[in-house]
A = this chain, B = another copy of it.
Amino acid sequence: MKIEELATPTALLDRAKFQRNCDMMLARVRDLGVKLRPHMKTLKSIDAARVAIDPSHGGIAVATLDEASYFADAGISDIFYAVCITPDKLARAAEIAQRAPDLSLLVDDIATAEAIDAFGRANNRWFRVWIELDSGEHRTGLELGDPMLPVLAKFCDQSPAIELAGVATHGGHSYRCRTIEEIADVAEQERTTAVRAAGMIRALNIPCPGVSVGSTPTALHARSVDGVTEIRAGVYMAGDLFQASIHSGAQDDIALSVLATVISHKANRMMVDAGGLALSKDRSTERTQDRGYGLVVDLHGASLGESIVAGVHQEHGELRGAQLEQLRIGSKVRILPNHACMTAAAYDRLYVVDGDQVVDCWSRTNGW
């Protein structure tokens, strides 16, 4: 099937670029001497995971229990649910762990660990648990000096319901950096925070096998990963305009795009059938090089100058640019996303394309 035969709006994944992105990150992490745990939160597709997984590791990270369940069904055993678990989610996690025996959870508070312990004792279960550190993003996680850290590590060590998997941190503040030097500094914060926390825990005679760090920018620009055992990263597989703007791949590496059709063409404006729902309302490029709601390229992926989706309604996207005159009602364009994780979430499948041909259709999961 040719791309232009697809109903629009729909999500395209360029096979060659996706493969190249996966190969690049695997080679990079291998060069660093550690293992890659690809984060599947962006593409949420088992077909994508099979390409992205590091054969020397085998595991993935996910951001929802829905993803964990989906990948467990597909036979993945080592799944790190890398968002802090809450007590009410434990029953579902226990059910998923029956299908994915190496499921692991994230905690940053003794209250949660106590709930895991109580649930485990009551239900004769145990869970693999990572302790989250805050390496500077200030989202979740314990700071290195927090007195709760040794208390939590001891509690995990002593609970029959918990096996301590290790410590984990996410240098998400790398997204706020603009230079490679700044990103490398954040990577070093990630590394030192996690490695020191692991050292503190081990000094208590508590086994702390895993030291997990990562984000796409820090994975690409870390100067050293001494002491780290695995790197988590995800958005590099798809790429997006924001990542390209902060030196995480180039614009030409962006594998994800939205295929859209021109639905209205007036003298001073042109609308496509991809609006806020099809593109998301993510405006992250506003802070770097503003691309509105996405960069418009032609059906074949070729540049239309700096044409952008300048505005969106629910189902309408307004194009703006100097090289749009060639388009007519019914013309197809591709729109490169500001933020691949947000845009991909609008779709229940990914059409894999090779040149102008649709060569595969990959399932993806959504929701929670």
A residues within 8 Å of B by Cβ? 4, 7-10, 41, 63-65, 83-89, 92, 108-109, 111-112, 115, 138-141, 172, 261-266, 269, 271, 273, 276-278, 280-283, 313-316, 318, 328-330, 341-342, 345-348, 366-368
B9 & A368 in contact (Cβ 8 Å cutoff) = yes
Q: Which residue of the partner chain B has the closest CB to A4?
A: B88
B341 & A109 in contact (Cβ 8 Å cutoff) = no
Given A88-B261, A139-B313, A276-B342, does the pair A368, B112 have CB atoms closer than 8 Å?
A: no
A-B contacts, 21 listed (Cβ < 8 Å): A4-B88, A7-B65, A10-B368, A83-B315, A84-B271, A86-B261, A86-B263, A86-B273, A87-B330, A89-B261, A108-B266, A111-B330, A139-B269, A139-B313, A141-B264, A276-B282, A277-B342, A277-B345, A280-B281, A283-B283, A346-B367
Q: Write out the residue numbers on chain B whose beta carbons fall within 8 Å of the beta carbon of A112.
A: 329
Known: A112-B329, A140-B271. 11 other contacts (CB 8 A): A7-B88, A7-B89, A88-B261, A108-B264, A140-B316, A273-B368, A277-B342, A277-B345, A281-B282, A314-B341, A348-B366
Q: Which residue of the partner chain B has the closest CB to A66?
A: B7
Q: Which residue of the partner chain B has the closest CB to A338?
A: B281
A329: contacting residue among B111, B172, B265, B329, CB under 8 A: B111
B313 & A109 in contact (Cβ 8 Å cutoff) = no
> How far does the Cβ of A307 sit from chain B's closest Cβ, in whole Å?
18
A37–B341 Cα gap in the complex (Å)? Answer: 35
Residue with the greatest number of chain B CB neighbours at <10 A, chosen from A9, A283, A313, A347: A313
B269 & A138 in contact (Cβ 8 Å cutoff) = yes
